[in-house]
Chains A and B, each alone.
Chain A
Amino acid sequence: MKQSLFKKPAVQTLLSSLICIVAGLLVGFIILTIINPSGSGQAITTIILNFITRSSGPAKLKAFGNTLAKTAPLLMCALSVCFCYKVGLFNIGAAGQYEAGACAALFMAISVGAPWYVCLLAAAAAGAVLGAISGFLKAYRNVNEVISGIMLNWITLYLTNMVLSNPAIKDPASPYTKPLSSANAKGMLPTMGLDALFANNRYVTVAVPLAVIIAILIWMILEKTRFGYELRATGFNKEASRYAGMKEKRNIIVTLAMGGALAAVGAAFLFLSGYQQWSTTQTSVPGMGFNGIAATFLGGLSPIGTIFSSFFIQSITDGGALINRSLYPAEISDLISAVIIYLCGFVLFFKTVMNGWIAKNEEKKALKAKGGNA
């Protein structure tokens, strides 16, 4: 049974994810070439290699650390989308839940002066409430979670801007919230010595290992527990799970609440690391939640797969920022990573194509064998 390797779902998913990546990079390369052929080779290499292109060892480590610091929140958003997706819900509201997490975490950290773990819990609670609203609307009023999610994304954005514009939280001289290091050092996530590994990059915090552990936990919940069995059954077939006596309405609400908590903790992971401050004048929903969707699909809808896909997406985004600006306009980095992320959504498509191709090949072989015997 040699041929069965390609029929294994895990192998198929991995292969189609790789195909997506290659296709995305190829299209990115073509765009770069059209804009400016002379630098396209170097530019695409920069995108792929990201921190490896840095000049010295410590600089490389530091850049690597930055990528990891931003991978953790992205992974949490991806887990949020992935978890809900397994239950048949498309949590496009992850972006809004992310905002809610940022709002709650920064409010608790700067205004209340709470320690980091309280801030994390507050973020989780805020995201859960937001998710539960979508869940409630879906379960009892049959409002599509995509619609309510998108609307809540905007509502939460301006709500967050409003809350964080409070003079106790906002820096008086800029639109940003006060830097955490000076406002409340207790509110910052501990580095647990990880900073030392990355050339004293203090943005590499406990968030990085924690996100990976949460990914493994989510995988275990979905695959190994009664709770996951019930949620996935609800996702695959709501009617059948009702027939089997599961409370599908409750499951929808619980799922979106959990998804909300995951995305919100992701925001807390970023803003409590001090890497970034919230801009209270921003008028667009942060891309992190949406990138989480791409990471989910690129990761083959598996919580474990999203660990790697999140890192990849974050890495090319950071790599894109390093492109030679004298040859390309500043928007190029966003454009290229957007193209690659866009193509990442095609994992399922490639998987279907691959399955059809395998089946056809097998048939041909079977026919040949038959013909040979006859």
Chain B
Amino acid sequence: MDAPYAIEMLNITKRFPGIIANDNVTIQLKKGEIHALLGENGAGKSTLMSVLFGLYQAEEGIIKKDGVEVKINDPNDANDLGIGMVHQHFKLVQCFTVLQNIILGVETTKNGVLQMDEARKKVIALSEKYGLYVDPDAVIEDITVGMQQRTEILKMLYRDNEILIFDEPTAVLTPQEIAELMQIMKNLAREGKSILFISHKLNEIMEVADRVSVLRKGKYIGTVNVKDVNEAELSRMMVGRDVQLVVEKEPAKPGNVVLDIQNMTVASKVHKNNAVKNVSLQVRSGEIVCIAGIDGNGQSEFVYGLSGLEPLVSGKITLCGKDITKSSIRSRSELMSHIPEDRHKHGLVLDYSLEYNMILQLYFEPEFTTKAGFLKRKEIREYADRLIDEYDVRSGQGAITTTRAMSGGNQQKAIIGRELDRPHELLLAVQPTRGLDVGAIEGVHRNLIKERDAGKAVLLVSLELEEVLNVSDRILVMYEGEIVGELDPKQTTPEELGLYMAGAKRSTPKGDKA
């Protein structure tokens, strides 16, 4: 008899020192279905997939393939069983062609010579069968992220994988590319491939998945048919309480210009061209201006230029009427709070305690340092305790917890608390909700709006369409280092925004070199 399930993970329990990452989790993937795995960050999705991939060994539970128990000791075993994965960060050789990447590791050779023709035929056949159009001879670094993802999918298909895992595949795509990916996934399922789709985006799950399994804090909450539930019910399963999905806010009351950027150009660290080209913009007090765009279009370099982490090639930045183009990072930070994009790289000293991180921008102030240069331990503790309390930062041992030991969400809350509490006129928030769960995102958005209502200027850099549309008062779209359009979030649609983000549409003239 043919077993109904392609892969089954039964009663999987995986422990790490101090936490149970997967507590008796069961996932059964039917043949030819798209099965979503939904959960907040830290819910145990990645751990579960690592167990399936043989990167970790579960303490309890078994894995069955086609109804037969199997042992997966390393990724090679997983590969032999026909399990393939598209990782969130692609594993491609940048200077190789699509075809070379696809056959990497499974090359057919004759007397030690590569047989590319055979491989090319197979790749072309596969791409036609599943509607995965991509030029086999294009070099990876020249093609779009969406194309790169198709290369990854073709890699799995080329290896005749039957079970395909997609780890947050839409995070880096434009709305148009997402729609295409959804179609590809449906095609794959129709052809009998079984798909595990890891995501925390409810709308995508609703659109593409047949069934969805929900994890919360390592525990298995349940599996439901997607057509039997709505988004609100799913988010309740995921978070464990009701969540407000739409942000409520009053219309903005913009005041004086706080930040004025004229013709800012910033060099790129990876290529010879400038990453930010001739960007001019203004942010007023009492408004949230959002810079939208697909990852890697110069947003990071823009932020580095504004915060002083990288020098400008040209341009002028005025903050509160003061020319800060050449100011040090510290003097800028007197007027500017900055929630950085990468909390591990820039936001926190992970090996420092929570209280030491809370004073990272203020440790030199007389409030925390005596005239002789000694740290005031009592004042630091009190200050940290107050922020921990106000921003609900949870940790094992409170103020003395090493921040490395804290969850990503709480690390982010600590940074947000630190940056919002200290004096500032401009809040520069770069992907402030990255990696946060639905409940925490709600809190961050509320904080941003509170900032705005308190008369601060807020500059939000975000890759999340929903966030861009919900939170901001004005949208500036950045494409290849230029501002290509200004949109009103109340008037625009995700589709229109997507066209701007993909560079297909622009409302501002192409930046002259003035």
Which chain A residue shows the least CB distance to B369? A226
Q: B residues within 8 Å of A by Cβ? A: 15, 17-18, 307, 309, 328-330, 333, 338, 340, 345-352, 356, 360-361, 363-364, 369, 373-375
Contact of A225 among B15, B17, B349, B375 (CB under 8 A): B375
Find out whether the CB atom of B15 lies under 8 angstroms from the CB atom of A363. Answer: yes
Residues of B within 8 A of A242 (CB): 309, 329, 346
A363 to chain B, nearest CB (A): 6
B338 adjacent to A243 (CB under 8 Å)? yes
Contact of B364 among A226, A237, A363 (CB under 8 A): A226
How many residue pairs between the two chains, A and B, have CB atoms under 8 Å in the bound complex?
Answer: 68
Residue of A226, A236, A360 touching B349 (CB-CB under 8 A): A236
Q: How far is the CA of A355 from the CA of B351 in the complex (A)?
A: 17
A240 touches B360 (CB 8 A): yes
Collect the chain B residues with CB atoms within 8 Å of residue A240's CB. 345-349, 360
Is the pair B17, A363 in contact by a Cβ cutoff of 8 Å?
Answer: yes
Q: Are B352 and A226 in contact (CB under 8 A)?
A: no
Whether B17 and A236, one on each chain, are in contact in the complex, defined by CB atoms closer than 8 angstroms, is no
Given A224-B374, A226-B369, decide whether A244 and B360 contact each other with a Cβ distance below 8 A.
Answer: yes
Can you name 21 A-B pairs with beta carbons within 8 Å?
A224-B374, A225-B373, A226-B374, A226-B375, A229-B363, A230-B364, A233-B356, A237-B345, A237-B348, A239-B346, A240-B345, A240-B348, A240-B360, A242-B309, A242-B329, A243-B307, A243-B329, A243-B340, A245-B329, A246-B330, A363-B15
User: B26 CB to closest chain A CB, in angstroms?
Assistant: 20
Q: Which residue of A lies closest to B365 (CB)?
A: A226
Task: Please indicate the chain B residues that have their CB under 8 angstroms from the CB of A362 in the complex.
Answer: 17
Q: Which residues of A contact B328 (CB under 8 A)?
A: 245
Interfacial residues of chain A within 208-245, with CB under 8 A of chain B in the complex: 224-227, 229-230, 232-233, 236-237, 239-245
A220 nearest in chain B by CB position: B374
How far, in angstroms, from A149 to B427 measured CA to CA in the complex? 43
Task: Say whether B309 contacts A243, CB under 8 Å.
Answer: yes
What is the bound-complex CA distance between A196 and B374, given in angstroms? 38
Measured between beta carbons, the chain B residues less than 8 angstroms from A245 are 328-330, 333, 361
Q: Tell me if A360 and B17 are in contact (CB < 8 A).
A: yes
| Complex-state Cα separation, A227 to B369, whole angstroms | 10
Q: Cβ of A359 < 8 Å from any Cβ of B?
A: yes
Q: Are B348 and A224 in contact (CB under 8 A)?
A: no
Given contacts A225-B373, A226-B364, contact A236 B351 (CB under 8 A): yes
A356 at the interface (CB under 8 A from B): yes
In the complex, residue of chain A having the shortest beta-carbon distance to the beta carbon of B15: A363
Q: A227-B373, A230-B364, A246-B330 are in contact. List 16 more A-B contacts (CB 8 A).
A: A225-B375, A226-B364, A236-B350, A237-B349, A240-B345, A240-B360, A243-B338, A243-B340, A243-B346, A244-B329, A245-B329, A245-B330, A355-B17, A356-B17, A360-B17, A363-B17
Choose one: B309, B347, B360; the contact of A233 (CB below 8 Å). Answer: B360
Nearest B-chain residue to A223, judged by Cβ? B375
* Residues of chain A within 8 A of B17, CB atoms compared: 355-356, 359-360, 362-363
Which partner residue on chain B sits nearest A244 by CB separation? B360
Residue picked from A224, A239, A244, A246, most chain B C-beta under 10 Å: A244
Which 7 A-B residue pairs are closest in the complex by CB-CB distance? A245-B330, A359-B17, A243-B346, A245-B329, A236-B351, A226-B369, A244-B360
Residues of B within 8 A of A230 (CB): 363-364
With the chains together, A301 CA to B16 CA distance in Å? 27
Q: Which of chain A's residues has its CB closest to B328's CB?
A: A245
**CB-CB contacts below 8 Å: A161-212 with B:** none
Contacts of B348 in A (CB 8 A): 237, 240
Interface residues of A, count at CB 8 A: 24
Kindly list chain B residues whose C-beta atoms are within 8 Å of the C-beta of A244. 329, 333, 360-361
**What B residues does A241 contact at CB under 8 A?**
349
In the bound complex, CA of A236 to CA of B329 (Å): 19
Most-contacted residue by chain B among A227, A232, A243, A246 (CB, 10 A):
A243
The docked-state distance in angstroms from the alpha carbon of A360 to that of B16 is 9
Chain A residues near B330 (CB-CB < 8 A): 245-246
What DSSP secondary structure best describes chain A's contact surface? Answer: helix
Residues of A within 8 A of B (CB): 224-227, 229-230, 232-233, 236-237, 239-246, 355-356, 359-360, 362-363
Q: How far is the CA of A236 from the CA of B345 in the complex (A)?
A: 11
Partner of B18, one of A229, A232, A233, A359: A359
A304 to B362, CA, bound (A): 29
B375 touches which of A224, A239, A359 (Cβ 8 Å): A224
| CB–CB A226/B329 < 8 A | no
Residues of B within 8 A of A233 (CB): 349, 352, 356, 360
Q: Give bound CA distance, A170 to B181, whole Å.
A: 80
CB A142 to nearest CB in B, in angstroms, measures 14
Please give the distance in Å from A48's CB to the nearest CB on chain B. Answer: 36
Instruction: Closest A residue to B361 by CB, please name it.
Output: A244
> How many angstroms between the C-alpha atoms of A226 and B377 in the bound complex?
11
Chain A positions within 8 Å of B361 at CB level: 244-245
A227 to B375, CA, bound (A): 9
Closest Cβ–Cβ distance, residue A28 to chain B (whole Å): 34
- A225 to B328 CA separation, bound complex (whole angstroms): 23
- Of the listed residues A225, A355, A360, the one surrounded by the most CB atoms of chain B closer than 10 A to its CB is A225
- Cα distance, A359 to B16, chains bound together (Å): 9
- Distance in angstroms from A227 CB to nearest chain B CB is 6
B255 smallest CB distance to A (angstroms) = 27
User: Are A243 and B347 within 8 A (Cβ)?
Assistant: yes
Asked, given contacts A236-B351, A242-B309, whether A229 binds B338 with beta carbons under 8 Å apart, the answer is: no
Shortest distance between the CB of A324 and any CB in chain B (Å): 48
CA distance in complex: A359, B18 (Å)? 7
- Minimum CB–CB distance for A223 against chain B, Å: 9
Nearest CB in chain B to that of A234: its residue: B349
B10 CB → nearest A CB, Å: 20
List A contacts of B333 (CB < 8 A).
244-245
Residues of chain A with a CB closer than 8 A to B352's CB: 232-233, 236
In the complex formed, the residue of B with least CB distance to A358 is B17
Q: Within the complex, which residue of A226, A236, A237 is in contact with B373, where a contact is CB–CB below 8 Å?
A: A226
C-alpha spacing A352/B373, complex, angstroms: 34
Q: How far is the CA of A355 from the CA of B16 in the complex (A)?
A: 12
Chain A residues with Cβ below 8 Å from B351 are: 236-237
In angstroms, how far is the closest chain B Cβ from the Cβ of A153? 30
Note all chain B residues with C-beta closer than 8 A to A363: 15, 17
Q: State whether A239 touches B345 (Cβ < 8 A).
A: yes
Contacts of A246 in B (CB 8 A): 330
Q: How far is the CA of A72 from the CA of B337 in the complex (A)?
A: 47
**For the complex, what is the distance from the CA of A244 to the CA of B333, rounded to whole Å?**
8
Q: How far is the CA of A10 from the CA of B367 in the complex (A)?
A: 30
Given A245-B330, A359-B17, A359-B18, A226 contacting B363 (CB threshold 8 A): yes
A283 to B479, CA, bound (A): 62
- Nearest B residue to A363 via CB reads B15
A76 to chain B, nearest CB (A): 23
Q: Is the CB of A225 within 8 A of B374?
A: yes
Closest-CB distance, B373 to chain A (whole angstroms): 5
- Name the CB-closest residue of A to B345: A239
Distance, CA A42 to CA B356, complexed state (A): 51
Chain B residues with Cβ below 8 Å from A236 are: 349-352
**Bound complex: CA of A224 vs CA of B333, how far in Å?**
25
Q: Across the interface, which residues of A come within 8 angstroms of B356, CB to CB?
A: 229, 233
Bound complex: CA of A244 vs CA of B17, how far in Å?
A: 32
CB distance from B14 to the nearest CB of A (A): 12
Contacts of B309 in A (CB 8 A): 242-243
- Whether B15 and A237, one on each chain, are in contact in the complex, defined by CB atoms closer than 8 angstroms, is no
Query: Who on chain A is nearest to B307 by CB?
Result: A243
Q: State how many angstroms separate the Cβ of B310 from the closest Cβ of chain A.
A: 10
With both beta carbons as reference points, the residue of chain B lying nearest to A245 in the complex is identified as: B330
Least CB distance, B495 to chain A, in whole angstroms: 36
In the complex, how many angstroms separate the beta carbon of B377 from the nearest chain A beta carbon? 8
Bound-state CA distance A236–B340 (Å) is: 18
| In the complex, chain A residues whose CB is within 8 Å of the CB of B375 | 224-226, 229
What residue of chain A has the Cβ atom nearest to residue B333's Cβ? A245
Question: Given the complex of chains A and B, what is the CA–CA distance between A226 and B362 in angstroms?
Answer: 11
Known: A226-B369, A226-B373, A245-B328. A237 touches B340 (CB 8 A): no
Min CB gap B22→A, angstroms = 14
